[in-house]
Amino acid sequence: MLAPGIGEWHPHREERFQNIYGAAGEGHSESMKIHLIWAAPFLVLCLLGTAAAVDLPQAPGTLVTLINGSDLIGRDWLAIDGDHVVWTWYDREYRTGIALHTLSTGEEVNISRNFRANSCPRVSGDYLVWIDDRERDLPEQRGDIYLYTISSGKTSCISSESPRPRNIAISGDYVVWEDRRKQQGDTYQQGDIYLYQISTGEEWAVCTDQAPQSDPDVSGDRIVWTDRRHGNDDIYLYNITTGEERALTSAPADESSASIAGDRVVWRASDKIHLHNLTTGRERVLANSSTMKGGPSISGDLVVWNEYVFRESDVPDADTYLFDLVTGEKMIVYSSGSRSMSDDLISGDCIVWSKGCSVMLFTYEHTREPASTTKALIPTTETPAPLTTVLVALPLVIAARRRG
């Protein structure tokens, strides 16, 4: 999901600039000032944060265009599990639908096709779920949750009368979502977390605290979500088997967009990506650059997320990154501006995203050897782009000092 505050100015950059050049003109000749003025365009580029060529590890693997985008207006909400990829599509007749693509056979099935909204498809094993507006006549009554069984082709509505669902997640027998059923008319109401068990047909509330809860994810019998009961975003964990609920985070900063796989949980905290091991209780930071981020998503030993950078337009590109927990390496998967409205981007070794109207598939090749490096024009603050231009301008300033 697109993170707020993209392209923020960081005061520490200006402070670093002043530390280098702050007293440059004091006690020197007028020629010194002239040379500094001549060097000013380089320094302006520093402050604007230009793109710099930096060495980045390129994730080893194979990239293919799974589906070409020429036939539709758009494809969004991509998700993947095992052999299946799902997405929402939009055609030129203003219809929307849910597509299910089988990687092993190349077969594509359209599950829902109508003039109402279909969104947020998720797939796990033999089940596909999504939010569907087909039975909603009033604007304030938006969406039911539908379940499609892949092996039988059967479709059914699994939500209660007016759940107002958002942000579905599924794992095996369990479906979770953010629910706003307490909302009346257009009055805003915070979300709650609800759970549905497919095998029993039972639905129940997981968390209905007065503060907002949002963005749930589920793996096995564990659910994580974003919770604001203490005035900022924290990550909470619920065990379906034991009924135990506890906070995973309590820092003053906002922590949100949690993804869980087994005993590992990842989330976003401002410009950082965190990993927490539920078994050991250990936590580490996987990414700490100052670019704004989307995601993350975890599957096994791999974590993926997006980093948003401005290049040649007012719309930021979303570069896809990967962290291999086995090798301990952060790598870039794709740097040409990917886009996706989903956080379920990875399953096993496969990563999916949308680019324009096309669906891209990257298959990661595991290796315990250090990843190869390539040159990539990417704005990054781990090796700050402004610093590169500072190094270009610095000899000019030194020369100006000597001439002065």
Whether 139 is covered by a domain: the verdict is yes
What total of structural domains would you count in the chain? 1
Whether 16 is covered by a domain: the verdict is no
Q: How far apart are CA 301 and CA 221, in angstroms?
A: 19
The residue-averaged pLDDT of 81-89 equals 96
Q: Is the pLDDT of residue 376 over 70?
A: no
Q: How far apart are CA 237 and CA 310, in angstroms?
A: 35
Whether 52 is covered by a domain: the verdict is no
Which residue in the block uniquely carries the two structure tokens 């993947």? Answer: 80
What are the angstrom distances between the C-alpha of 291 and each of 76, 106, 192, 259, 269? Answer: 23, 36, 31, 20, 12
CATH code of the domain containing 282: 2.120.10.30
Whether 200 is covered by a domain: the verdict is yes
Q: Is the pLDDT of residue 28 over 90?
A: no
169 within 8 A of 204, measured Cβ to Cβ: no
Q: Exposed, middle or buried: residue 243 (CB in 10 Å: 0-12, 13-18, 19+)? A: exposed
Low-confidence winner among 14-28, 263-277, 313-327 (lowest mean pLDDT): 14-28
Whether 104 is covered by a domain: the verdict is yes
Whether 327 is covered by a domain: the verdict is yes
Whether 384 is covered by a domain: the verdict is no
Which residue in 70, 57, 114, 105 sits closest to 85, CA to CA?
A: 105
- Segments forming the whole domain that contains residue 168: 58-377
213-235 per-position pLDDT tens digit: 999 999 999 999 999 999 999 99
Return the percentage of the chain with pLDDT > 90, whole number. 51
185-196 per-position pLDDT tens digit: 555 567 999 999
More reliable by pLDDT, 236 or 68? 236
pTM score: 0.77
More reliable by pLDDT, 379 or 78? 78
pLDDT at residue 142, as a whole number: 65
Neighbours of 147 (CB within 10 A): 18
The pLDDT confidence band at residue 171, using thresholds 50, 70 and 90, is very high
The residue-averaged pLDDT of 89-111 equals 91
Whether 21 is covered by a domain: the verdict is no
Q: How far apart are CA 78 and CA 302, in angstroms?
A: 18
What would the DSSP string read from start to end of 309-323?
A: E-SSSSSPEEEEEEE
Q: What is the mean pLDDT of the chain?
A: 78
